[in-house]
Structure 1
């Protein structure tokens, strides 16, 4: 997972990734799926259930990455299909995600599987 996260632009070593994954898997409403080629992890998706007053209940895809060598193999479609299945199971009315403006290949992928741009917001953060 740490090597895949680097492909998303996040420097992450295995010692940091392991406890984070443990926290995700034990947090209510959070889910993770993996795509494998044999025993090799070629992609993962982390999502969470987000109820909101203004938009209703959505499943948010927090992270989706497929190894560069496996892109086009169907791994991304598989992971998004699992997220859609989960969303239906738990009663979400939509799935939402953000994708960096420079990731035009990812944008084309999302559009091919039926997603459309619904916002042009900016994300603000503060490091604590």
Structure 2
């Protein structure tokens, strides 16, 4: 254990941020006895992201968005993460893709019928 120099140069800052930056002088959480000096290191930029949003617009069985009074808003359809209420309080990993595909197809068919009426021809995938 013990502190290990964060920068081999012995400086207490990194070159990019300079003396006023927030560089580290020591790594305090190195596992005791680890041969870290001989190991390769990989760097990745980590940024905050939103992985999945729960909730969203209420839809009916045709993916039409429901307005006040639970009535469908003509011509407005939603699918995927923007449509809420499908998963409940949380979702199982991977189910978001199923949600997007199923309700995306339903919304596409309903939207085509809304736009084209009886001119829509049934297809088989």
TM-score by length of 2: 0.28
Q: Which has the larger radius of gyration?
A: 2
Which structure shows the bigger proportion of residues in helix conformation? 1
Instruction: Give the structure-1-normalised TM-score.
Output: 0.27
Q: Which has the higher strand share?
A: 1
